[in-house]
Structures are given as C-alpha cells and as structure tokens.
Structure 1
Amino acid sequence: MNSAGINSVTQMVKPFETKGSTPTSTPYEAQKSFSSVLKQSIENLNKTQLQSDVLTEKLARGENVDLHQVMISSQKASITLQATMEVRNKVIEAYQEIMRMQV
C-alpha cells in the first residue's frame, strides 16, 4: 500500500519541528519552506485524485481494469483529501487563535 498522503502530511510537519530554543532558519526561509511543502502536498493530492478518476472512467467504459485497484485508488484519494482538509482546518484554527491574541 502506498502511503503518499501520510508521507505528505509528515513532510509538512518536519520542517517546523524545533530541536532547541534557537531558530535554525530565518523567517523568509521558513516561509519558502512552508510554501514549497504546501504546494507539493497539494500537487500530490491532485495527482492521487486524477489517478482515481482515470481508473474510475476506465471501469465505467468497460475496459479491463481490476475492480480492487479502482476501489483502492478511490479510497486513497478520499483519505488524502480528508487528511488535507484536517490540516487546512488546523492551520485556520491556529491562524484564528493568533489573531485573537492581544499584543
């Protein structure tokens, strides 16, 4: 089983892990790192969705496609989308919490 969705979430978290109290990168580098990880994760999500669509269309046209592979691909796409939505929700919650902080 390919765990591309879980790996992409893990890759999103790794650049932000801290190993001590001293920052290891500048805010600009952290922003670039976050944006590249986010872009890569969205591209992986899109790729998974497209693979599922292609297999589903082949099955609907009656082509010789293994039903198990179609269902597995569909479930991978669904789980990847759910994980992405959860990460998005957590990011929005964190942003809202930061906005509520008094300076």
Structure 2
Amino acid sequence: MTSPIGGVSLPSFPTIGALGGADAVRGAQAPQAAQASADGFAAALTGALDELGSLQSSKDALAVQAATGDLRDVHDYMIAAQEASVATEMVVTIKNKAVEAFTEIMRMPV
C-alpha cells in the first residue's frame, strides 16, 4: 500500500512478490526459493545503495556548481538535496528495521 509521490525519484525496491514471498514458500522447492529470496533482498539493497550514491553525487555536483556560480537555477540544487535527504532517510529506516527484525529473530527460543 504505497501512494506514488510525483516529481520525487526514490530508490526503487522490488515488491514483496518479486523477493519470493509466501507464494514461493508454498512450492516444493522452498529451500531454493528461500535462497533466491535472500539473494533478491541483497540485490535490492545493493541497488538501493547504488542509487543513493548516485543521488548524493548528483547533489554534490550541483553544490559545487552553486558554489562556483555556474548553477543557473538554485531550485535544481534544492530539489537534488531534498531527494538525497529523503532517500538517505528511507535507506536508514530500512536498515534499522532489518536490524530490528534480526535482533527479534535472535531472541526467539530454539
């Protein structure tokens, strides 16, 4: 349940189904599906971090242009800075939730 935000490009994450959700576990190849799911999450996280890096470098390039006086429209820098900020907050929140989930799993009795 997400609502699209027009004009803001955030790191894209695949849907739960693409990561091998409950439908993949129901099949006879559950261990292989679980491995594919783990690889899918790692790939999604790596892709999000790469996209975050590109947003940060774009913001940095525009900041240099603003500092040297080569930037024609300061709005471009402000938009890039806000996109990078929102993307950073999102990635940090996802990381925090993943650590929280891992900690909760580790607390489960075996």
TM-score by length of 2: 0.79
Q: Which is further off, 13-22 or 31-40? A: 13-22
Q: Which has the higher contact order (CA 8 A, sep 6+)?
A: 1
In 2, Cα distance between the equivalents of 1:60 and 1:43? 26
State, as a whole percentage, how many aligned pairs show the same letter: 27
Match of 1:54 among 49, 61, 71: 61
CA RMSD of aligned residues (A): 2.0
SS of aligned partner of 1:95: helix
Aligned residues: 100
Structure 1 residues 13, 45: CA separation in 2 closer, same or farther (over 3 Å shift)?
A: farther
Say whether the 8 Å CA contact 2:24–2:33 is kept in structure 1. no
Tell me the residue number matched to 1:4: 10
* 2:97 equivalent to 1:93: no
Larger displacement relative to structure 2 (70-79 or 55-64): 55-64
CA–CA separation in structure 2 for the residues paired with 1:33 and 1:68: 36
Unaligned runs of 5+ in 1: none
Summarize deviations over 1:58-92 as a string: whole Å, max 9, x none: 00011133100100000000000000000000000
Q: Cα distance, 1:12 vs. partner?
A: 6.1
Classify 1:66/1:88 alpha carbon distance in 2 versus 1 (closer, same or farther; 3 Å): same
Paired residues for 1:1-103 under 5 Å: 1-5=7-11, 8=12, 10-11=13-14, 13-14=16-17, 15-19=19-23, 22-23=26-27, 26-103=33-110
Kept in 2: contact 1:12–1:37 (CA 8 A) = no
Q: Which amino acid counterpart does residue 91 of structure 1 have in structure 2? A: A
Displacement, 1:11?
A: 2.0
What TM-score, normalized to structure 1?
A: 0.84
